[in-house]
Amino acid sequence: MLPFSRVTIIGLGLIGSSLARAIREAMPTVRVTGYDADAAVREVARAIDLTDDVTDTAGASVTDADLVVLCVPVRAMGAAAAEIAEDLPPDAIVSDVGSCKADVLAQLSAALPGRKVIPAHPVAGTENSGPEAGFASLFQGRWCIVTPPADADPAAVERVAELWRRVGADVETMDPAHHDLVLAVTSHLPHLIAYTIVGTASDLEDVTQSEVIKYSAGGFRDFTRIAASDPTMWRDVFLANKDAVLEMLQRFSEDLSALQRAIRWNDGDALFNLFTRTRAIRRSIIEQGQDDPKPDFGRSH
């Protein structure tokens, strides 16, 4: 049996539009309704026939939904939830796709007291944004982490989990605070570092920006991909998951200082040992199907 029959997606960017496409492909009888606060995005969504219906207000999009998925930047979740509170059917489940969960759970619980709130986070994405950047297979073989509140209805949790399984994801359940710590290291810190190094490289006096671009195949280009991700989304993530991000950043800075010291004092063994250890992690990621085994990410040569 299908977990839901009428799904509303609020926020039709990369993730929202991918979810819409994935649901329509995997569960063609489910009615999918879309809404986006940006009129231009709604127009694109209609033009590309993204969902069965695109409404002009958030309220109108949820009136007969049995699931509403908020796909907006994490600090906009509370406002988006407040906008639908009045029109939300009593039994509807509200979920989201935000990259940090404790803060989002607090926002949604405050805006929708007494309602069924089951946050989730599909760990998937690309560097592109907007309704046309999405695609149905984005969640295939990726993990979706469901982070229900302590008092959540297990049946509601299972329905949300089943939706993600149907669109190709593997599902894990996690405590929101632990999720935020795990993602701080596997996602938020890498994005922060990538944004920083791309900024550093574009600010040099003795090396021109055109040289940085020209010789980027030496490693720099790998960082530019995630540093091209949506600015609003990421601004919100760092502010909403501040404590965990600052904690991971502190650890990273200490480790970087240690490596800096090893270089300054010609400690080749320390460098070699670290570089050997990190190689093993890459191997595990490939073995577990979380990245492409082809050299250079399979870029064409």
Residue reference for tokens 């082809």: 294
User: What tokens were used for 283?
Assistant: 């191997």
Q: Calculate Rg over the CA atoms of the chain.
A: 21
Burial (Cβ within 10 Å: 0-12, 13-18, ≥19) of residue 126:
middle
Nearer to its own copies among residue 110 and residue 199 (C-beta): 199
CB of 112 to its own copies, least distance (A): 25
Nearer to its own copies among residue 57 and residue 271 (C-beta): 271
Nearer to its own copies among residue 166 and residue 191 (C-beta): 191
List CB contacts of 120: < 8 A, sequence separation 6 or more: 95, 96, 97, 144, 145, 146, 147, 160, 164
CB of 58 to its own copies, least distance (A): 23
Give the alpha-carbon dihedral of 9, 27, 152, 86, to 10 degrees: 40
* DSSP H helical ranges for 167-208: 176-183, 189-201
The rounded distance, in Å, linking the Cα atoms of 277 and 281 is: 7
- Tell me the CA distances in angstroms from 105 to 78, 81, 294, one per residue in order: 9, 11, 39
CB of 47 to its own copies, least distance (A): 21
List CB contacts of 157: < 8 A, sequence separation 6 or more: 118, 146, 148, 173
The rounded distance, in Å, linking the Cα atoms of 45 and 58 is: 15
Nearer to its own copies among residue 85 and residue 197 (C-beta): 197
Nearer to its own copies among residue 54 and residue 72 (C-beta): 72
CB of 242 to its own copies, least distance (A): 6
CB of 62 to its own copies, least distance (A): 28
Nearer to its own copies among residue 58 and residue 236 (C-beta): 236
Nearer to its own copies among residue 69 and residue 194 (C-beta): 194
State how beta strands 6-10 and 67-70 pair.
Answer: parallel
CB of 86 to its own copies, least distance (A): 29
Nearer to its own copies among residue 35 and residue 195 (C-beta): 195
CB of 270 to its own copies, least distance (A): 9
List CB contacts of 140: < 8 A, sequence separation 6 or more: 167, 168, 169
CB of 32 to its own copies, least distance (A): 20
